[in-house]
Homo-oligomer: A and B are copies of this chain.
Amino acid sequence: MQIAVVTFDGFNELDSFIASAVINRARPAGVRAYITTPTPSVTSMSGVEVVGQRGLDFITEADVVLIGSGIRTRDIVADPALFGALPLDPSRQLIGAQCSGALVLAKLGLLGSMPVCTDTTSRPFVEDCGVRVLDTPFHTEGPIATAGGCLASLYLGAWAISRTVGEEAARAAVDYVAPVGEKDETVERVFAAIRSAQPVAR
């Protein structure tokens, strides 16, 4: 299973790298994440230049697409050339969004009546699209998941592993990356957040 972690210029390192790193801990189980960029390299919000592992054309091959977050998401959704290069297909892919990535899903019309999680800064822009924003870190319905707050990218990564190669592999990956002495409680917290993220009444 191949996972595209879509990463734009101005990206937040926590959002792209926590998800990709925890997923790559589950490589022995048969899933792999790739930093997927629109240009050969992208520069983070803190000025770190990262060479993309895959281009946006990889999105059509990926089993899972996670949209990272950053400080330029509003520019991205306003750029027809860039935005048109995101051929997401929830009928055959799992799709996740981190923080401002929810704005991408909203603008692509993928959310229907589904509410989302996003960060405080992105919230008004997502709500302007007519999408309801939850006060929780993680929400999923069907093939789509959203996470809010940089460190919730751990939940998005664990969800992607669970849905592709199973919860056992996801628990092992989270256990591996968790702080020493806090492994069990970290695994429980992550999977409690994922389990509680059931469709809500609306």
Interface residues of A (CB under 8 A from B): 12-14, 17-18, 20-22, 24, 33, 35, 41, 45-51, 53, 117-120, 135-138, 147-152, 154-155, 176-183, 186, 193
Contacts and interface: CB of A to CB of B under 8 A. Distances in A.
A127 to B, nearest CB: 14
A148 B179 contact: yes
A122 to B, nearest CB: 11
Contacts of A179: 137-138, 147-149, 151-152, 155, 193
Contact of A180 (B46, B120, B186): B120
Contacts of A48: 17, 20, 35, 50-51, 53
A52 B33 CA distance: 22
Chain A interface SS verdict (over half): mixed
A24 B135 CA distance: 25
A147 B177 CA distance: 12
A51 B49 contact: yes
B149 A183 contact: yes
Residue from A45, A53, A150, A179 whose CB has the most chain B CB atoms within 10 Å: A179
Contacts of A21: 12-14, 46, 150
- Of A21, A45, A51, A53, chain B has the most CB atoms within 10 Å of the CB of A21
With most chain B CB atoms within 10 A of its CB, the pick from A51, A137, A177 is: A177
A117 B180 contact: yes
A183 B120 CA distance: 12
A71 to B, nearest CB: 12
A115 to B, nearest CB: 13
A45 B25 CA distance: 10
Contact of A119 (B41, B47, B135, B180): B180
A146 to B, nearest CB: 10
A53 B179 CA distance: 27
Contacts of A151: 154, 177-179, 186
